[in-house]
């Protein structure tokens, strides 16, 4: 039976995914982080930053690497969600070059938007009253765009959509659900903040402030925080995406999984 998008159902679905696959998700998160660090370290010896062209090339290359890592994680979550219905292998979680390029295009589009906002602020910086109003309007505008386009990467990995198409699809499924999505975002932020406080509390209790190992403890804590919070955030996004898609299609998600 069809049911509309529900925050409670979405959290339940996300929790079931995390509960069944938390080891795979945490290990893959750490592997992705280690891979990114390794590539950054190696490329620091390859790229020469003596001009603007090499700097732009390096930024675009790292954006492409980040796109591969993020999209592969999304594909992993989708695979884990569907594994009871389909057989899969490692190649199923590797995104295509087209997907990575579309992800980079989305990133560049938002870079242009934010760059435009900064340019406008610089042009009117002498008008304090106007800037105070513009700041609020810009924050609301950018925040609204981010909320409406939050599922564009999901469509890239799930439907192999292009950059423009995935934005259109994300805007479509978020229509009439913006407040519920904002509620989901606050729940995720609360969990991330709570996890950070817990980890910080553990370090405070077990590591002396003047201890020489304090810096290492904080680095390890940062890795642990990332390894737990990153999978949680991505699973919540993907579970929300699936629930919104199926409610938008006016079918039950359990039925759709088997199609």
The answer to whether residue 49 sits within a structural domain is: yes
Write out the residue range of the structural domain in which residue 125 sits: 7-257
Helices 128-148 & 97-123, crossing angle to 10 degrees? Answer: 160
Residue 255 has pLDDT above 50, yes or no: no
Q: Number of structural domains, the chain?
A: 1
The answer to whether residue 231 sits within a structural domain is: yes
- Looking at residue 257, its pLDDT comes to 46
97, 103, 120, 252 from 33: Cα distances, Å: 20, 18, 35, 36
Mean pLDDT of 84-96: 72
Q: Phi/psi zone of residue 72: left (φ > 0), alpha (ψ -120 to 50 degrees), beta?
A: alpha
The answer to whether residue 2 sits within a structural domain is: no
- Looking at residue 252, its pLDDT comes to 53
Greatest mean pLDDT among 31-40, 123-132, 231-240 lies in 231-240
- Cut 0.85: pTM above it: no
- Looking at residue 1, its pLDDT comes to 46
The answer to whether residue 211 sits within a structural domain is: yes
Query: What is the rounded distance in angstroms from the CA atom of residue 143 to the CA atom of residue 175?
Result: 15
The answer to whether residue 174 sits within a structural domain is: yes
Tens-digit pLDDT profile for residues 40-89: 888 877 766 667 777 788 888 888 998 999 999 999 998 888 776 566 66
Query: What is the rounded distance in angstroms from the CA atom of residue 201 to the CA atom of residue 22?
Result: 23
Which comes out higher in pLDDT, residue 48 or 233? Answer: 233
The answer to whether residue 27 sits within a structural domain is: yes
């Amino acid at each position: 039976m069809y049911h509309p998008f529900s925050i409670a159902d979405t959290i339940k679905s996300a929790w079931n995914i995390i509960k069944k696959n938390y080891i795979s998700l945490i290990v893959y998160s750490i592997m992705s982080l280690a891979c990114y660090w390794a590539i950054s370290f190696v490329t620091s010896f390859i790229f020469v930053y003596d001009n603007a062209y090499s700097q732009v090339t390096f930024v675009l290359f790292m954006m492409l690497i980040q796109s591969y890592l993020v999209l592969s994680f999304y594909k992993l979550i989708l695979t884990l969600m569907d594994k009871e219905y389909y057989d899969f292998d490692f190649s199923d979680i590797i995104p295509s070059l087209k997907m990575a390029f579309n992800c980079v295009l989305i990133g560049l589009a938002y870079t242009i938007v934010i760059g435009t906002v900064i340019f406008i602020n610089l042009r009117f910086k002498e008008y304090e009253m106007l800037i105070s109003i513009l700041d609020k309007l810009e924050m609301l505008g950018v925040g609204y765009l981010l909320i409406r386009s939050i599922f564009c990467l999901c469509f890239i990995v799930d439907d192999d959509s292009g950059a423009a198409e995935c934005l259109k699809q994300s805007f479509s499924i978020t229509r009439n659900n913006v407040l519920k999505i904002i509620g989901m975002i606050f729940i995720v932020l609360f969990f991330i903040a709570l996890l950070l406080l817990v980890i910080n509390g553990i370090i405070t209790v077990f590591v002396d402030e003047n201890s020489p190992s304090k810096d290492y403890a904080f680095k390890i804590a940062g890795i642990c925080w990332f390894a737990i919070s990153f999978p949680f955030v991505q699973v919540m996004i993907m579970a929300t995406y699936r629930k919104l898609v199926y409610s938008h299609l006016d079918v039950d998600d359990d039925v759709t999984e088997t199609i």
